[in-house]
Amino acid sequence: MPPVDGPTRLYGELGDPIDQVRMPGFLNAAWARAGIDAVLVPMRVAAADLASAVAGLKRLGNLDGLILTIPHKQAMLGLVDRVLPMGRRIGAINAVRREADGSWTGEMFDGLGFVAGLHGLGHDPAGRRVLQVGAGGAGAAIAHALADAGVAGLDLYDIAREKAERLAAAVAAAVPGVAARWVAEPAPEGCQLVLNATPLGMGAADALPVAVDRLAPGAVCADVVTKPIVTPFLQAAARRGHAVMPGHVMAAPQAALFARFFGRAID
Task: Annotate 222-231 with b (16+ C-beta within 10 A) or e (fewer).
Answer: bbbbbebebb
The single residue of 58, 73, 163, 227 carrying the catalytic annotation is: 73
Q: Which amino acid is at 37?
A: D
* Backbone torsions φ then ψ of 181, nearest 5 degrees: -150, 150
Closest by alpha carbon to 110, among 73, 158, 79?
73
> Would the CA dihedral through 132, 198, 109, 117 be positive or negative?
negative
227 is catalytic: no
Give ∠ CA 254-258-264 in degrees, rounded to 5: 135
Cα(150)–Cα(156) distance, integer angstroms: 16
Closest CA to 252 of 2, 92, 33, 57: 33
Question: 149 exposed, middle or buried (CB, 10 Å; 0-12, 13-18, 19+)?
Answer: buried
Backbone φ and ψ of 176, nearest 5°:
-60, -25
Catalytic (active-site) positions: 73
